[in-house]
Amino acid sequence: MIKNKKILLGVTGSIAAYKSAFLVRLLVKAGAEVKVIMSQSATDFVAPLTLSTLSKNPVLIDFQKDKTGEWNNHVELGLWADVMLIAPASANTIAKMANGLCDNLLLATYLSARCPIFLCPAMDLDMLAHPSTLHNLQKLQEFGNHVIEPKEGELASGLFGKGRMAEPEEIVVSLEHFFESQKQAKKLHGKKALITAGATREYIDPVRFISNNSSGKMGYAIAEELAAQGAAVTLISGKTYLSIQNSHIHKINVETAAEMFEATVAHVADNDIIVHCAAVADYTPKEKASQKIKKKENDLTIELVKTKDIAKEVGHLLQPHQFHVGFALETNEEIKNAKEKLQKKNFDMIILNSLQDKGAGFEHDTNKVSIIDKTGQIIDLPLKSKKEVAQDIVRLIVSKLPKT
């Protein structure tokens, strides 16, 4: 997928800049044409001569090439590239990108680029976790940029945590998946997909509710991947801080299980693919207090009643051309329980999460799943980012869609 692609690599001032040499080598080996732009501070960590030798192109650092006044044209560079990849992306560069600052050739090229932008953050764990950095990364994603998540491990500071730049091999795989999704986009052209995501809230009184730890990350990743593959997507979302990036996703916000039930059932008939990824409450208070419940001396008992089973109801409404996908989060007898749910709710495919797997399930940026289809075939996927898991899931959906 990378062969003959034009990749513009931006290298910024981070200790992880040493990985850029390995990254350039892998990209060139895969058949890509690579040009490198470095920030001035990046040259303190890796020699431009190294990257120039590996890329077989001059490394660009400043606007002016030499004393004659000849210049490196940032506009032409931005138009030349199929992808601009910034690896490593330091906290400083991320902040400048998010706020439109333009004080070097790399940033001027970023602001001029019309191609997709990928960035690979690399910094110490406290810098990455700082609200300003998280806000800047969110802004960049809202602009449509792609973030290849940093990994956990030992950092240059000696601390252990999240902040390591993704390994060059992982970055190359992410680019391959991106180019593959572009090539395959027409496979879902003309298709419509409905997906639920996030957690529901079942209110006890006006300020208290029963919910769960679902962040919505997996559902949003699937919605984005379905849209990337050409589908018109309706996303029915519970409460979440996440935002959508693709303009082909129509988002419907709900709060309660009852609201999600109504919205889902109302849209089922119009869609070719239905994916239930939301963590929907199984029970809701029988009565919701109209005023805030005050603390009393005695214990408080709340009577709960079952909510409507959205996936089961949709299973009864399916037409032959529709493909029905569910999720199962289990803590014991995982495969057995998932297979029972697949049959009971008329799923064509079910994705199993186990809370026994480290790094999988709620709130994590990664997931480890097993995919079971109607024939009983089981595909076990290793721990991956939720974006990569979403790509695998959508790829399987595409391969199993009923022929029309």
DSSP string, 264-329: HHHHGGG-SEEEE--B--SEEESS--SSPPPP-SS-----EEEPP-HHHHHHHH--TT-EEEEEEE
Q: Where are the alpha helices (DSSP H) in 6-104?
A: 19-29, 48-55, 74-80, 91-99
Bridge partners of 372? 350, 378
CB-CB contact of 198 with 239 (8 Å)? yes
Is residue 292 annotated as involved in ligand binding? yes
3-state secondary structure of 48: helix
Q: Residue 199 and residue 207: Cα distance in Å, rounded?
A: 17
CA distances from 145 to 25, 84, 109, 137, 357 (A): 24, 10, 14, 9, 30
Instruction: State the pLDDT confidence band at 180, using cuts at 50, 70 and 90.
Output: confident
Residues 149 and 295 in one domain: no
Of the candidates 116, 86, 87, 110, the one whose C-alpha atom is nearest the C-alpha of residue 5 is: 116
Residue 217, annotated as binding a ligand: no
Domain endpoint, select from 131, 155, 181:
181
Q: Tell me if 284 sits within 8 A of 307, measured CB to CB.
A: yes
Give the pLDDT of residue 388: 87
Mean pLDDT of the chain: 91
pLDDT score, position 186: 62
Residues 198 and 175 in one domain: no
What is the domain count for the chain? 2
Residue whose pair of structure tokens reads 């749910």 in the numeric block: 341
Dist CA 375 CA 224 (whole Å): 28
Residues 342 and 392 in one domain: yes
What confidence score (pLDDT) does residue 404 get?
60
Does 1 reside within a domain? no
pLDDT at 37: 96
Residue 139 lies in a domain: yes
Residues 175, 203 share a domain: no
* Position 295 pLDDT exceeds 90: no
Residue 94: inside a domain: yes
User: In the beta sheet, which residues pair with residue 232?
Assistant: 192
Nearest alpha-carbon partner for 86 in 94, 74, 75, 78: 94
pLDDT for 95 = 97
Which has the closest alpha carbon to 218: 393, 395, 371?
Answer: 393
Cis (ω within 30 of 0) for the bond into 88?
yes
Predicted pLDDT at 286: 95
Could you tell me which residue, 197 or 189, shows the higher pLDDT?
A: 197
- The pLDDT-based confidence of 403 (bands split at 50, 70, 90) is confident
What residues make up the domain containing 284? 189-400
| Residue 118 belongs to domain with CATH number | 3.40.50.1950
Residue positions annotated with a catalytic role = 212
Instruction: Give the pLDDT score at 359.
Output: 60
Q: Is 82 annotated as a binding residue?
A: no
Quote the CA–CA distance of 352 and 369 in Å, as a whole number: 5
Amino acid at 71: W
Q: Do residue 237 and residue 138 come from a single domain?
A: no
Answer yes or no: do 229 and 312 share one domain.
yes
Query: Rounded to whole angstroms, how far apart are CA atoms 22 and 54?
Result: 9
CATH number for position 293: 3.40.50.10300
**261 falls within a domain:** yes
* 316-343 mean pLDDT: 93
User: Of 166, 144, 329, 159, nearest to 243 (Cα)?
Assistant: 144
Q: How far is CA 401 from the centre of its chain?
A: 23
Position 27 scores a pLDDT of 97
Q: What pLDDT is recorded for position 169?
A: 95
Joined together, the tokens standing for residue 363 give 């709130």
Can you tell me the distance from the alpha carbon of 321 to that of 272, in angstroms, rounded to the nearest whole number? 7
With contact defined as beta carbons under 8 Å apart, do 199 and 279 qualify? yes
Parallel, antiparallel or unpaired: strands 83-89 and 6-11: parallel
Residue 10 in domain: yes
Instruction: Indicate if 218 and 269 belong to the same structural domain.
Output: yes
Q: Is the pTM higher than 0.85?
A: no
Is 258 in the same domain as 390?
yes
282 known ligand binder:
yes
pLDDT at 129 (0 to 100): 94
- Residue 232 to residue 248: CA distance in whole angstroms: 6
Residue 77 belongs to some domain of the structure: yes
pLDDT of residue 66: 66
Helix (H) or strand (E) holding 249: strand 249-253
Neighbours of 278 (CB within 10 A): 26
Residues 114 and 163 in one domain: yes
Q: Are residues 205 and 72 in the same domain?
A: no
Same domain, 177 and 195: no
The DSSP letter of residue 123 is -
Co-location of 200 and 155 in the same domain? no
The pLDDT, as a whole number, for residue 51 is: 97
- What would the pLDDT profile of 330-386 be if each residue is shown by its tens digit? 888 889 999 999 999 999 999 998 777 666 666 677 888 999 999 989 999 888 888
DSSP bridge pairs for 118:
85, 146
Percent of the chain with pLDDT over 90: 74
Question: Which of 144, 159, 181 is at the close of a domain?
Answer: 181
Q: Which residues contact 159 (CB under 8 A, 6 or more apart)?
A: 124, 125
Is 141 domain-assigned?
Answer: yes
Q: Is 341 annotated as a binding residue?
A: yes
End position of a domain, from candidates 181, 198, 223: 181
pLDDT tens, position by position, 219-253: 999 999 999 888 999 999 998 888 887 878 999 99
Give the integer Cα–Cα distance in Å for 177 and 185. Answer: 12
Comparing CA positions, the residue from 145, 231, 220 lying closest to residue 181 is: 231
For the residues of 192-232, what is the DSSP string, one character each? EEEEEESB--EESSSS-EE-----SHHHHHHHHHHHHTT-E
Rounded Cα gap, residues 287 and 267, in angstroms? 28
Scan for tokens 């001059």, then name that residue: 58
More confident residue, 363 or 207: 207
DSSP designation for 100: T
